[in-house]
């Protein structure tokens, strides 16, 4: 933490520059969906490294277990049975979790200073000790990732094992993946690796294979190699062109300064109106009129 606090690229609800003396390599995790066998070792490793234990759920008729991410399950495998024209039935398995956006919507929406941090290496991390539990990160996220704990009302999600990465280790899910479906390294290296794999897949007939590194959020630090990159939605609803919702942008970029200026103008306007026009007192004339009326009554 001591050194990590020196390489912060973005800090939630902070209008000044964060400390960024240290220059670090931009990292990325590459998930090659075409190599994934859906064994869930990554889910297990994630829980083990992060000391998380989700409640045992029930089977809903699919392999998805747990069925969704929670404050205790920061990554889940999503199994989609899809029929494509060229290949018939396909089982598309995607490891879901935080995408670690270059331009994180959660961080933009967060009102608590320092509750969400983006390190220079690209990892987006929640600092729960600063989290106030408002859930705005949920609104900000284009990927539906943050989960608010029912127990402590704090937001949780994948940290990309920022603690492991800080000391030169790869994330736990990467370490444990038995098929080499998950790789970790510099973002540039991962892009190159993906390119090689995409070429390979294309040669093998997946003509729409490609890398998922969506530009709408400035690129991500978790990327997918998809065998159907033209249709990301096939992979349990991966958004084709994720962006921070315009309502969130309007609220956080335009409304804030405008509203602050408007409210300040109202207050200052009042003060200066008073100073320049003077108070609106009852006129002496009317006071005298009322006096006369009362006299008349007597």
Partner 1 sequence: MIRDPHDLKRYTASERANHWITGICFILLALSGLSLFHPALFPLTLLFGGGTWTRILHPFIGVVMMLFFVVMFFRFQSLNRMREADWEWVKRAKEMVNGDDHNMPEMGKYNGGQKLLFWFLGVAMLVLFVSGIVIWRAYFSASFPIGVVRLGALLHAAFAALMIAAIIVHVYAAIWVRGTIRAMLYGTVTRAWAKQHHRAWYKQMTGK
Distance CA 168, CA 8 (A): 17
Q: Report the residue number, 61 or 278, with the smaller CB distance to partner 1.
A: 278
By the rule CB under 8 A, 39 interacts with partner 1:
no
Distance CA 57, CA 100 (A): 27
**Using CB atoms within 10 A of its CB, is residue 62 exposed (0-12), middle (13-18) or buried (19+)?**
exposed
Tokens of 17: 């520059």
Tokens of 133: 């539990």
Q: How far is CA 45 from CA 30, 42, 161, in A?
A: 17, 5, 11
CB 64 within 8 A of CB 258: no
By the rule CB under 8 A, 53 interacts with partner 1:
no
Distance CA 55, CA 8 (A): 34
By the rule CB under 8 A, 153 interacts with partner 1:
yes
Q: Report the residue number, 154 or 228, with the smaller CB distance to partner 1.
A: 154
Q: Report the residue number, 200 or 289, with the smaller CB distance to partner 1.
A: 289
Q: By CB under 8 A, which span of 46-54, 73-81, 89-97, 246-254 interacts with partner 1?
A: 246-254
Q: Report the residue number, 117 or 160, with the smaller CB distance to partner 1.
A: 117
Strand partners, 11: 117
Tokens of 248: 């969130």
By the rule CB under 8 A, 25 interacts with partner 1:
no
Letters for 90-129 (x = contact with partner 1 by CB under 8 A, - = none) are -------------------x-xxx----------------
Residues 193-222 that bind partner 1 (CB under 8 A): none
Footprint on this chain of partner 1 (rule: CB under 8 A): 13-15, 109, 111-113, 130-136, 138-139, 144, 148, 153, 245, 247-248, 250-251, 255-256, 258-260, 262-263, 265-267, 270, 273-274, 277-283, 286-287, 289-290, 293-294
């Amino acid at each position: 933490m001591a050194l990590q606090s020196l390489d912060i690229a973005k800090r939630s609800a902070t209008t000044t520059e964060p400390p960024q003396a240290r220059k670090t390599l931009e990292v990325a995790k590459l998930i090659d969906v075409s190599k994934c066998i859906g064994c869930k070792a990554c889910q297990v490793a994630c829980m083990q490294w992060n000391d998380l234990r989700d409640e045992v759920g029930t089977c809903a008729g699919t392999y998805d277990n747990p069925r969704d991410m929670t404050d205790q399950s920061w990554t889940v495998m999503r199994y989609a049975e899809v029929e494509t024209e060229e290949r018939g039935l396909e089982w598309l398995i995607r490891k879901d979790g935080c995408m670690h956006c270059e331009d994180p919507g959660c961080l933009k929406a967060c009102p608590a200073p320092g509750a969400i941090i983006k390190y220079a290496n690209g990892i987006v991390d929640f600092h729960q000790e600063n989290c106030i539990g408002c859930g705005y990160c949920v609104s900000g996220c284009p990927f539906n990732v943050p989960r608010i704990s029912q127990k402590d009302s704090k937001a949780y999600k994948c940290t990309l094992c920022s603690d492991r990465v800080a000391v030169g280790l790869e994330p736990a899910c990467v370490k444990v993946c038995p098929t080499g479906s998950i790789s970790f390294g510099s973002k540039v290296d991962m892009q190159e690796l993906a390119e090689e794999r995409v070429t390979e897949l294309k040669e093998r007939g997946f003509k729409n294979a490609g890398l998922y590194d969506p530009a709408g959020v400035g690129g991500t630090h978790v990327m997918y190699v998809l065998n159907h990159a033209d249709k990301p939605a096939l992979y349990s609803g991966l958004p084709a062109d994720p962006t921070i919702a315009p309502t969130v942008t309007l609220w956080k970029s335009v409304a804030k300064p405008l509203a602050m200026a408007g409210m300040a103008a109202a207050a200052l306007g009042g003060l200066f109106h008073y100073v320049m026009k003077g108070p609106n007192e009852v006129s002496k004339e009317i006071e005298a009129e009322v006096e006369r009326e009362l006299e008349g009554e007597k």
